[in-house]
Structure 1
Amino acid sequence: MKTLKIGIIGCGSISKHRHLPEWAGNKFAEIVAVCDINEDRANLTAQQYNAKAFTDYRELLALEEIDAVSVCTPNALHAPMSIDALNAGKHVLCEKPMATSKEEAEAMIQAAEKNNRKLMIGHNQRFVPSHEKARELIKNGDIGKVFSFRTAFGHGGPEGWSADGRDSWFFKKEDAFIGAMGDLGVHKADLMRYILGEEVTEVAAFVDTVAKEGADVDDNAVCVVKTESGIMGTLAASWSYSREDNATVIYGEKGVLRLEDHPQFSLIAQYTTGEVVNYELGKIQSNDEGGQTSSKVIDKFVDSIIGNTVPAVSGEEGYKSLKIVLGALESNETKTIVKL
């Protein structure tokens, strides 16, 4: 079987810590080209991975040998670059949020269909062992009917993570479109759809900037959502937490599931019978050391290309999660409950 030739568009932190090492670690893939508007960054990355360096992504896409690309650029560039890549005949793994509007997301999906290429969105939280186990327990009726949940994703902000620190595109509306809600909230929107196996039908939200001076995007968001069967829950996303919080608690008629809420046990099932089951499934991947080493995103994407199967997080799936974020923004602006 031939090795997939890979191009990386954007050589910032998400590439450096996730995409590049995970592509390099996949035995069916070879990184052959990288691109960044920062020429020094592109050259340094190219040297590290023995690849060609570009500062114009269109030149990278013109390489016939490239089979697939990772789009790891600021949010506002996700859709146009992904569409160009799909039209150039490349499979695309795009970082989240996939787009800045419904129209962009639909155009990405259409480009993938038209060119018969795979489009996957990098929602890695689905592949965390505790999250996979919780989905299985709920599907099997382990905690009975689910009534409610609360989920959060917060940390001190992207300045501690981004290659450009406080000058990062994350804080600029023109590049980012949305702040903590798009960076972290969309992960949890996707996660709850996955774990519960249901679509969100209504959302109400407060989305604001309270912690990051000079930022023209949100740094805190709290949403209330309702699913098709009537499950109600809260979803919080923040760049103002002094310690990272990635926890989810799910309340059902027969018990409670606590995910990533304990330093040792990644999943705790507490039943109404008094029984407690502690699962040690490995820590969630995070910006701190000691989490799971691979997000599994690249491996899942490669599997879909080789096996010609629907990607684990397809464009359509990414779009459904994006709609929750867009609904939260609309709710905050209109001060109404938004029906999805």
Structure 2
Amino acid sequence: MTVDEYLRGVRRRDWEELESGTLRIAMVGLGWWTREQAIPAVRESKFCETTVAVSSSHEKAESVAEETETVTAGVTYDDFVEGTATDEYDAVYVCTPNAYHLPYVEAAADHGKAVLCEKPVEATVERAEKLVESAEEGDVPLMVAYRMQTDPQVRRMRELVREGAIGDPVAVHGHMGQQMLDVVSGDPDQWRLDPELAGYGATVMDLGIYPLNTARFVLDADPTSVTAQMHSENEAFRKVPDQHATFTIQFDNGAYAACTASQHSHLSGHLRIVGTEGELVLEPAFLGQTPQTLSLRQPNGQELEIDDGRRDLMGDEMTEEFDYFADRVLREVPPSPNGDHALVDMQALAAIYEAADRGERVSIE
């Protein structure tokens, strides 16, 4: 098979083995992402359905229940923790502010339910460790929602790197930027700007994690040290250090990454993997923009490009993620990326903020 033929098989679900079945999901946290992205993605999925809505108030939970045909129960966070409606769902999707992930994953583990937890897995390394430990002690599957890892084109990038299509990878360039206040309707009091809820910062925690983790996945490598610079200008970002940020990563395979992220910039994202014999470029990336094109450039002048035809990229990525999760849980196969994988990111994130604060390289143990 030629590289061109290989790339044109990009829509194949290389992970799917489940023939039939339905995973019933409780949506924990009913913010805009859950309502506008997760619930519609599950509606379009092959193996999932939303059956329980969990929020801070009965009114909000019941409102979402009324809007979603498959939902049979709308409950509060307290109800969820106490075990209300546990017969109505098989797994939970946790999409609350970062610092609230721990108690709801602990509750899910107590109830024996599989967990799909949004990234970053918690607000700090210490809380993340407790979260992963709770899932292990409860003997429940824990998957962290790095949706790029189930994106077909990202998976092809990983396989092409493995097959030597660009030689030995030596450098990664990644960027993710958006106008955050536009995304959250101009609310300067929203949780991503509150260190007690977001964690170490607003931009690298929320956006920089995308090129960081996707590079790890594509290279099949882990970070060993980082450097970073960051600053905040606008009044809305006064409590966080990173309205804008840049950071570098050294990986254990010898490759380096240079990444930028901003919560106050043009909506854009890309990922470039440079090797000794070519490069792979995915652009736009991370933010659900279409058309998304994967390019392979080689030294003989050959350049192959594929726009995989998706026009609802964010929704499609989320549907892939939920169906992959269901495929693994229903077949009783451990899902990936798991909690241990997410802890490496948490250690890297903590190191990036420390490196920016100290103005020097920080090792990751």
In the superposition, the TM-score normalised over structure 2's length comes to 0.84
Whether 1:36 and 2:72 are equivalent positions in the alignment is: no
Whether 1:104 and 2:127 are equivalent positions in the alignment is: yes
How far apart, CA to CA, are the structure 2 residues paired with 1:84 and 1:60? 5
Whether 1:78 and 2:105 are equivalent positions in the alignment is: no
Q: Check the 8 A contact 1:129/1:282 in 2, yes or no.
A: no
Q: 1:310 to 1:256 in 2, by over 3 A?
A: same
Select the residue among 59, 62, 73 that pairs with 2:80.
59
Q: CA deviation at 1:208?
A: 2.4
Over the aligned positions, Cα root-mean-square deviation in angstroms equals: 2.2
Amino acid at match of 1:260: E
Q: CA deviation at 1:84?
A: 2.2
* 1:164-217 Cα deviation digits (max 9, x unpaired): 844321222222122111111112211000001111111111132234535422
Whether 1:323 and 2:347 are equivalent positions in the alignment is: yes
Partner of 1:128: 151
How far apart, CA to CA, are the structure 2 residues paired with 1:197 and 1:170? 29
Partner of 2:294: 267
Q: 1:109 to 1:305 in 2, by over 3 A?
A: same
Partner of 2:195: 173
Q: 1:214 to 1:329 in 2, by over 3 A?
A: closer
Partner of 2:17: none
Q: 1:58 to 1:146 in 2, by over 3 A?
A: same
Partner of 2:328: 304
Whether 1:195 and 2:235 are equivalent positions in the alignment is: no
Q: Check the 8 A contact 1:203/1:327 in 2, yes or no.
A: yes
Q: Check the 8 A contact 2:46/2:323 in 1, yes or no.
A: no
Q: 1:164 to 1:293 in 2, by over 3 A?
A: same
Indicate the larger mover: 35-44 or 295-304: 35-44
Amino acid at match of 1:317: H
Select the residue among 29, 40, 49 that pairs with 1:21.
40
Whether 1:230 and 2:248 are equivalent positions in the alignment is: no
Q: Check the 8 A contact 2:123/2:197 in 1, yes or no.
A: no
How far apart, CA to CA, are the structure 1 residues paired with 2:150 and 2:48? 20
Q: Check the 8 A contact 1:203/1:324 in 2, yes or no.
A: yes
How far apart, CA to CA, are the structure 1 residues paired with 2:79 and 2:300? 60
Partner of 2:363: 339
Partner of 2:26: 7
Q: CA deviation at 1:322?
A: 2.0
Amino acid at match of 1:133: R
Q: Check the 8 A contact 2:175/2:269 in 1, yes or no.
A: yes
Indicate the larger mover: 146-155 or 17-26: 17-26
How far apart, CA to CA, are the structure 2 residues paired with 1:280 and 1:28? 26
How far apart, CA to CA, are the structure 1 residues paired with 2:183 and 2:67? 20
Indicate the larger mover: 257-266 or 19-28: 257-266
Q: CA deviation at 1:266?
A: 0.9
Q: Check the 8 A contact 1:9/1:57 in 2, yes or no.
A: no
Partner of 2:9: none
Amino acid at match of 1:281: D
Q: 1:211 to 1:254 in 2, by over 3 A?
A: farther
Q: Check the 8 A contact 2:207/2:261 in 1, yes or no.
A: yes
Unaligned runs of 5+ in 1: 284-288
* 1:30-53 Cα deviation digits (max 9, x unpaired): 323212125443222111124322
Structure 2 SS opposite 1:136? helix
Amino acid at match of 2:136: E
Structure 2 SS opposite 1:294? helix
Q: Check the 8 A contact 2:47/2:323 in 1, yes or no.
A: no
How far apart, CA to CA, are the structure 2 residues paired with 1:206 and 1:58? 43
Indicate the larger mover: 259-268 or 188-197: 259-268
Structure 2 SS opposite 1:246? strand
* 1:277-336 Cα deviation digits (max 9, x unpaired): 1122245xxxxx743532211111111111111212111111122221111011112222
Q: CA deviation at 1:59?
A: 3.3
Q: CA deviation at 1:234?
A: 0.6
Q: CA deviation at 1:271?
A: 1.2
Select the residue among 274, 278, 301 that pairs with 1:251.
274
Q: 1:4 to 1:275 in 2, by over 3 A?
A: closer
In the superposition, the TM-score normalised over structure 1's length comes to 0.90
* 1:202-255 Cα deviation digits (max 9, x unpaired): 11111322345354222222101101122112111211112x222011211111
Q: CA deviation at 1:104?
A: 1.9
Indicate the larger mover: 17-26 or 69-78: 17-26
How far apart, CA to CA, are the structure 1 residues paired with 2:330 and 2:165? 35
Partner of 1:294: 316
- Number of matched pairs: 333
Q: 1:59 to 1:146 in 2, by over 3 A?
A: closer
